């Protein structure tokens, strides 16, 4: 009984901490092991009835928007320098990384500036030296474990991404994709929910 009370207290404390740094809808849940790093609360918007176990990072101009009834597993990471939009009713497994930027520039001189102890170091404002492009994930997308989604990717509604895939290009609705780099395996014949 005491163990359950302690766990509930820890979860509620984590939820209050998350809500203090993001805009969240009704019925929001989070794990105890998350990290929210944004310099403004409006940078992260999460819809109703979502469960988030991911670490969310926004650079000064970055924005993360998540639709309703979406589940994101623990140990996942979503990093936005521009914009990452995730639709409603998405199932995103554990250990998934979604990143709209390269983190560091290709230019070695600029990369050195990121690594200097006397500068901002790994500060997110330095992401603007690197390549970046918006990511859009449609409604009803299922992303398997240990998937990496790179900058500029748009996944159509109902797409399924196999575990371990590295997604470097966009795919239309109802695609089943897998591999490194991810490629189209087949197109599903289902009707999308309304």
Catalytic residues: 104
User: Would you say 68 and 86 are in contact if contact means Cβ atoms under 8 Å apart?
Assistant: no
What is the distance between the alpha carbons of residues 86 and 139, in angstroms, rounded to a whole number? 7
User: Would you say 102 and 130 are in contact if contact means Cβ atoms under 8 Å apart?
Assistant: yes
Pair of tokens at residue 123 = 């500060």
Angle at 89 (CA atoms; ends 75, 57), nearest 5 degrees: 35
User: Would you say 132 and 99 are in contact if contact means Cβ atoms under 8 Å apart?
Assistant: no
């Amino acid at each position: 009984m005491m163990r359950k009370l302690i766990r509930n207290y820890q979860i509620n404390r984590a939820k209050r901490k998350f809500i203090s740094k993001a805009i969240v809808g009704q019925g929001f849940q989070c794990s105890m092991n998350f990290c929210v790093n944004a310099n403004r609360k409006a940078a992260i918007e999460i819809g109703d009835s979502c469960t988030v176990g991911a670490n969310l990072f926004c650079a000064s101009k970055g924005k993360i928007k998540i639709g309703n009834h979406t589940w994101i597993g623990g140990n996942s990471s979503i990093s936005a320098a521009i914009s990452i939009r995730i639709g409603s009713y998405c199932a995103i497994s554990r250990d998934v990384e979604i990143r709209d930027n390269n983190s560091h520039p290709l230019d070695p001189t600029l990369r050195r500036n990121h690594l200097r102890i006397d500068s901002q170091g790994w500060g997110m404002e330095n992401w603007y030296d690197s390549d970046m492009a918006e990511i859009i994930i449609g409604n009803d997308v299922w992303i398997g474990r240990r998937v990496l989604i790179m900058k500029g990717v748009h996944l159509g509604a109902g797409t399924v991404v196999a575990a371990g895939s590295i997604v470097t290009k966009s795919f239309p609705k109802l695609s089943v994709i897998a591999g490194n780099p991810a490629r189209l395996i087949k197109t599903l014949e289902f009707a999308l929910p309304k």
